[in-house]
Amino acid sequence: MLIFIIILLICVFLIYATRNHRYWSQRNVKHEFPVPLFGNHFDNLFGYRSITQIANDLYNKYPEEKVVGYYRGRTPELIVRDLDIARHILNVDFGYFYQRGLGRDTDVETLMKNLFHAEGDLWKLLRQRLTPTFTTAKLKSMFPLIVNCAEKLHLAGDKIVESGGECDIRELMARFTTDFIGACGFGIEMDSINNENSTFRALGAKMFSRSFRDIILFGLWETIPEIRKMIYVQDARIKKVITDIVTTIFEQRNYKPIGRHDFIDLLLELADKGITGESIEKFDDDGNPKLVEVSMDLDVLVAQVFVFFGAGFETSSSASSFTLYKLALNPDIQIKIQGEIDQVLSKYNNKLCYDAVAELKYLDMAFKEAMRLFPSLGVLQRQCTRRYNIPQLGITIDPGVKIIIPIKAIQTDGKYYDNPKEFKPERFLSDKLKGPKYTYLPFGEGPRACIGARLGHMQSLAGLAALLQRFTVVPSSLTPTELPVNPWMNVVQSVKGGVPVKLKLRTH
């Protein structure tokens, strides 16, 4: 009898653990053999490879396929290799794929009500109303704040040089970005650049680190969907710190805009007026979208501050520090960029300004090339919301199937870029980059493309120009020939152990 019960339990477990594992074979989609319960996701769950590394490997393993199947536990996902299919998912057929599919329960984890994680009508209405934050006029008005942060960057660089020049350039650029976001977004003088123990820098680092608790909970969350409602992944300490910051700023402004036209002012306007617009999910009998309203309560407002601060500093500092790392390894390119900076700034009294940064074309090309090689987001994720026939394949996928667009793999594919691993800014000369569209996606594409792309781009170029105007970046004794990727990071790519380089004062 005991043996029978054991055999029965094993059978029940195997049925449960392999459910959906024939999904891709039934559709003749190539895929790796899935392991019971884990699918193809074992290496990611246990920190051997990030999802970007896994997507890269599968992308390169099946060069003749338009798509490759994958199982995150028992959930079927589709890694898209074909650019036309990617175009349909991100843009043409966006109505089927408007969800990012990260799947967190926003009623429980309220910080996930932010624009990046939000789904459906909350996402659509937030996107619609937050977009005016990033107009050209707004960006120009923010630039004096960038100049102020750039001057602090010079002081911090001088201290580093006095101490021998060795530094983690990733940390320095993270502190610069933290200060800028605090100033332009919240009207706060954070002074993270000159204070290694800044509360705000520590908060930013905490947002993008994964504790042992996080690893266990994320593993359970991804492997056993049935218990997701019982798992609380969000760090309550981060929520409390962010909520306290936002509440304090709101109180200082008497819960009304004060004319700074920063991110907090915009949120206070939304809280006062609310948001109403056409639904992306609900339709009347004639097929017309219904009008819906989103309540801008404190949880929603805090969530937007969370993503503006966290995602803003992480992606920009990652991109700018990787650019500096590549320039340290390519001194001829760095010299050419410094010559351009000197020439352009000489027309503006050697001071950074919005128009000067707009003229730094070669620096811009180098930054874009760095983002091609190491995009802050290594993959884009979407989720199918209703049955969808993929016209290029003639197969149908069901609601809930996840889609992975492997940005890094596409951007380093020799089919689209000659010598794809080489750092070559000239690729981005306007008359040379004539490859197919959707081969360059560091900010995403379509309606869910990064809303802060222009702000992040401008801020990064300004930080790079400020640093390279005064300093030269060279390899240190600790600088690796290739930066090791942190396999625990999935949404945003990260480097394990920082980016060690050496700063030297320029000799003109």
Q: Which residues are annotated binding-site positions for heme?
A: 450
Q: Which residues contact 377 (CB under 8 A, 6 or more apart)?
A: 315, 407, 442, 444, 491, 492, 493
Q: Which residues contact 160 (CB under 8 A, 6 or more apart)?
A: 166, 167, 172, 503
Query: Could you tell me the two tokens for 66?
Result: 């338009």
> How many residues in the chain?
508
Q: Which residues contact 223 (CB under 8 A, 6 or more apart)?
A: 37, 38, 41, 45, 73
Q: Which residues contact 424 (CB under 8 A, 6 or more apart)?
A: 369
Task: Answer for the pair 158, 150: CB distance below 8 angstroms, yes or no.
Answer: no
Determine the Cα–Cα distance for residues 114 and 296; give it in Å rounded to an integer.
Answer: 11
What amino acid occupies position 243? Answer: T
Task: Answer for the pair 319, 494: CB distance below 8 angstroms, yes or no.
Answer: no
Annotated binding site: 450
List the strands of the sheet with 500-505, edge to edge.
166-168, 500-505, 471-474
| DSSP H helices in 22-163 | 42-45, 51-61, 83-87, 120-130, 136-162
The 3-state DSSP class for residue 306 equals helix
